[in-house]
Amino acid sequence: AGWRANAAALMNAFDAVLMPSLWEGFGLVVLEAMAARLPVIASNVSALPEIVVQDETGLLVAAGDTAGLEKAMRYMVGDSEGARRMGAAGRTRLESQFSVARMVEQTVQVYQRRGASDPHS
C-alpha cells in the first residue's frame, strides 16, 4: 500500500485497474492505468466519470455496488479484445485530454474567463 517507485512496471502484469472508490478527489491512478493502456473499472463518483468514458475507456459502476463490480470484472476477463480496445482508447484519451499542455491551456482559459491577463504577454 502507498507510493511505489515501480508502479508502472507492476501495471504491466495487470489485465485492468479497479477503482471502487466511495469518494475520489481526481483519480490519478486512473490516468496511470490509461498511460499503461489498461482498461479501468471505476465507481461513478467524484471526477472519475470525467476521466473514464463508459464502454469506451472502461466501465463505471455505482459506488458500493459489489454485484456491478463483479459483472464488470467478469466482462474484462471474458472479453479480452474488448478490454484491449478500452485500454487503447484510454491511452488516446489520456494523450488528448490530460496532457500537461492541455491542462495548462485549460487553466489559462479559466483565468481568462475570470478577466485575468495573459501572464505570458
Rounded Cα distance, 74 and 84, in Å: 14
Mean pLDDT estimate for the chain: 92
Phi, psi for 18 (deg, rounded to 5): -105, 125
Long-range residue pairs from 114-117, CB within 8 A, at least 24 positions apart, any chain: none
Quote the pLDDT of residue 43: 97
Q: What is the pLDDT of residues 86-103, one digit of tens each?
A: 999 999 999 999 988 888
pLDDT digits (tens, 9 = 90+) for 66-86: 999 999 999 999 999 999 999
What does pTM read for this prediction?
A: 0.83
pLDDT at 116 over 80: no
Domain ranges for the chain = 7-113
- Contact present, 43 and 66 (Cβ < 8 Å): no
Tell me the CA distances in angstroms from 14 to 6, 45, 63, 76, one per residue in order. 13, 23, 22, 11
7-113: which CATH number, 3.40.1440.10, 3.40.50.2000, 3.40.50.1580, 3.20.20.80? 3.40.50.2000
| pLDDT exceeds cutoff 60 at 121 | no
